[in-house]
Structure 1
Amino acid sequence: MSNETVLAELHALRDNVAGVTDSAVASVDGMLIASDTAEVRPDVLAALAAAALGLGKSAGKEVGMGELREVVTRCQLGHIVVYAVSTGQLLVVLGDEGLDITRLHLESRPAVTRLGDLLAN
């Protein structure tokens, strides 16, 4: 896995989706792999995203909704979106109140597939 290639995926999301402010890739146990963050502490973001993903997976399993794809949290000042990359990694994206959430989902799904392939190597 090339850290530069993972960072290129994160930069592309920021560049291609209006409102994206920060992003990171982490393991499902909260260990940071790569980040594109400005004011957010990436290690804390990775840990919190892992917790959100774990809760989402548990909830989905409990109610029989199948494999978790993403967890979306809408806050007063923006969004936190956590995508399951594989069984072992996640992608977390932060966006301000102007985040184009539809565009984010369109751009992030192929990015998640590419990240999964990168991180498998």
Structure 2
Amino acid sequence: MENAATTREAVLTELHALRDSVTGVTDSAVASVDGMLVASDTDGVRPDVLAALAAAALGLGKSTSHEVGMGELREVVTRCQSGHIIVYAIGGTKLLVILGDEGLDITRLHLESRPAVGRLGTLLGA
């Protein structure tokens, strides 16, 4: 089993790859569903706060999807005046949050993020 530092570096590699391969990605983080930060690639946001708020958004999305009977939640997408916030579920215990500017290529993000979520789940045992 990999040690925590090696796992954190592997998670950061995934986050950097998303920033490099998807136009408009500005910040990202991986956290537990209870809001504890695992790793972040952020510039202008507080990663601990981002992790906690993303966990709350994911929890609300999961409750809503359960209530309306639409199956397991995959992601929560929030569009703001100057960008996007996307929270992906990583198994039942972790999440990936991506921030993007107005130019975010959201289609490309979904294509790149789904395999990344799978790899992150494997790395984190989620």
**TM-score interval for Structure 1 and Structure 2 normalised by the shorter chain:** over 0.9
Identical-pair percentage: 79
Matched residue, 1:29: 34
Alignment coverage as a number of residue pairs: 121
Structure 2 residue ranges without an equivalent (≥5): none
User: How far did residue 111 of structure 1 move?
Assistant: 0.1
Q: State the 1:40 CA deviation.
A: 0.3
> TM-score by structure 1 length?
0.98
Q: Tell me the residue number matched to 2:81.
A: 76
Instruction: Kindly report which structure 2 residues correspond to 1:1-121, keeping only aligned pairs within 5 A, or say none.
Output: 1=2, 2-120=7-125
1:101 Cα deviation from its structure 2 partner:
0.2
List alignment gaps of at least 5 residues for structure 1: none
3-state DSSP class of the match of 2:28? strand
Matches of 2:44 and 2:105, distance apart in 1: 21
Residue 107 of structure 1 deviates from its aligned partner by: 0.1
Q: Secondary structure at the match of 2:35?
A: coil
- Tell me by how many angstroms 1:86 deviates: 1.0
| Root mean square deviation, CA, Å | 0.9
Q: Report the alpha carbon displacement of residue 31 of structure 1 after superposing the two structures with TM.
A: 0.2
| TM-score, structure 2 normalization | 0.95
1:57 deviates by: 0.1
Distance 2:72 2:46 in 1: 29
